[in-house]
Structure 1
């Protein structure tokens, strides 16, 4: 999905959705902002593009920055909005409120992370990621609480928060982020794990600190829990992970012997992705595995290299 929008889509102070938003701000009307966004068309459907919501959130945060009581009222109204758009904009405004009301913001983030609408849950994860970046030690403690919650939504919010925080390119934090994630490697719910190994570890943490992340993946590859080993294999099925075939090879060799279909399928997927970049090396490994009784089943799942 292309989130880039041109000036005509956003409008100016005189016209377009931003003008309507500013008018609603002048009227002290949070519902008017939501109506302006929901009145747009995005890909032919009612709704607004994420880039427009981001711009609106930034405009509101700037305009309300020096008005503590007013911004609190706006946040309360948007968090309680019947529209998912309003609740997403609330996530953007909550960042600016954190210094003044840390506990209130974290409570609101928890509520939004449990939202029935998936885009709101995603926005809440982004909010928590931004807060984790800005107050690493303080927010990490709250995420540890969420990590141990029964709710899969809250546990997934931790995974998403780490992914967003990793965008800030602070490799010195990766060891702590891996420790934060480690208990979640055992999660059986697909909603949690499908974002963990492939994306948060594979595409995010491997990118900013490959040495530390590869060390953790090697250690985790020896875990007896197949869910942990599934996450390890899937880290190399990502775009960034597939670049690390030289380091991944020994890890995938170990995992390919596992008896669990879940793990074998993950290894096969990772191998197919790595084969796109290291064609000859990975294909040679697959052919060797076919002659290995312990790994033949995984090699068969990979399938032969397709001729072009």
Structure 2
């Protein structure tokens, strides 16, 4: 099966198109049917040397998490730290599948991952939270915000890139706006520069721009922070807002001058 899939690899990536891999998953589910059998094949694929096999294995084990939860936790943590970005993306999706369907049992695992030495593993939490927010109702809002909160302090650039604008702005804010806006008023009390830069990045997202009017007082406070990380985040966000929605920029920040990053 993997030999066939490897022949479908695209010229710009090391694995086949997603549609091809999705079709492979459908064939496996339909052909094997029994959860234990599907899980066994998933484990074999997850332990293969093939990035394509690892992607399929992550999803197969995630959708049959109940067969052996502790083994799935170990497998997903290992694959989340893959050197291949495509594998990392599929693992983040797999984590969202598990979190959505087995929230109570998998939530503590992801909370532990926020303290993992690998930024790849920590970043998987951020992406999983974003995908999960789309699937779960407001009853889970506070817990999902709690799960992303430790990553606000993360200094790694790869993690930060996926927290503010991506996981929070276009994820948590989009699906749980009231909960997230309330949390922002708690986060602004932190003087940590990474927390503050992540907060600013929220408003560079398409969804975040919609809430600038409701958060202008918070942004005014952040605009006065002259530390390099915070100031750079604010300047980048302002340029993004000005480009995407000149009217909002003019209304709230028309009198604010900002510098290009050196």
Q: Same fold (TM over 0.5)?
A: yes
Q: Is the 8 A contact 1:197 1:234 kept in 2?
A: yes
| Map 1:17-166 → 2, pairs under 5 A | 33-42=1-10, 47-66=15-34, 68=36, 70-166=37-133
Residue among 190, 196, 207 paired with 2:157: 190
Matched, 1:300 2:237: no
How far 1:103 sits from its partner (Å)? 1.5
Which whole-Å deviations, capped at 9, do the CAs of 1:230-272 have from their partners, x for residues lacking one?
Answer: 1000011011111212113222111000011211121222223
Q: Is the 8 A contact 2:122 2:159 kept in 1?
A: yes
How far 1:66 sits from its partner (Å)? 1.3
Q: Is the 8 A contact 1:233 1:255 kept in 2?
A: yes
Q: Is the 8 A contact 1:39 1:46 kept in 2?
A: no
Which structure has the greater CA radius of gyration? Answer: 1
Which whole-Å deviations, capped at 9, do the CAs of 1:181-228 have from their partners, x for residues lacking one?
Answer: 111111100111110011000001111011111121232123110000
How far 1:43 sits from its partner (Å)? 5.6
Length-normalised TM-score, structure 1? 0.78
SS of residue paired to 2:63: helix
SS of residue paired to 2:206: coil
Counterparts in 2 of 1:87 and 1:257: CA distance versus 1, 3 Å: same
Q: Is the 8 A contact 2:193 2:229 kept in 1?
A: yes
Structure 1 residues not aligned, in runs of 5+ = 1-32, 290-298, 304-308
SS of residue paired to 1:150: coil
Matched, 1:269 2:226: no
Q: Is the 8 A contact 1:242 1:270 kept in 2?
A: no
Q: Which residue of 1 aligns with 2:199?
A: 232
SS of residue paired to 1:300: coil
Across the aligned residues of Structure 1 and Structure 2, the Cα RMSD in angstroms comes to 2.1
Distance 2:219 2:104 in 1: 34
Q: Which residue of 2 aligns with 1:181?
A: 148
Stretch deviating more after TM superposition (191-200 or 75-84): 75-84
Which whole-Å deviations, capped at 9, do the CAs of 1:20-69 have from their partners, x for residues lacking one?
Answer: xxxxxxxxxxxxx222221115367664111221221232123223162x
Q: Is the 8 A contact 1:245 1:278 kept in 2?
A: no
Q: Is the 8 A contact 1:243 1:274 kept in 2?
A: no
Structure 2 residues not aligned, in runs of 5+ = none
Which whole-Å deviations, capped at 9, do the CAs of 1:1-32 have from their partners, x for residues lacking one?
Answer: xxxxxxxxxxxxxxxxxxxxxxxxxxxxxxxx
SS of residue paired to 1:301: coil
How far 1:162 sits from its partner (Å)? 0.6
Q: Is the 8 A contact 1:222 1:229 kept in 2?
A: no
Distance 2:237 2:220 in 1: 11
How far 1:139 sits from its partner (Å)? 0.8
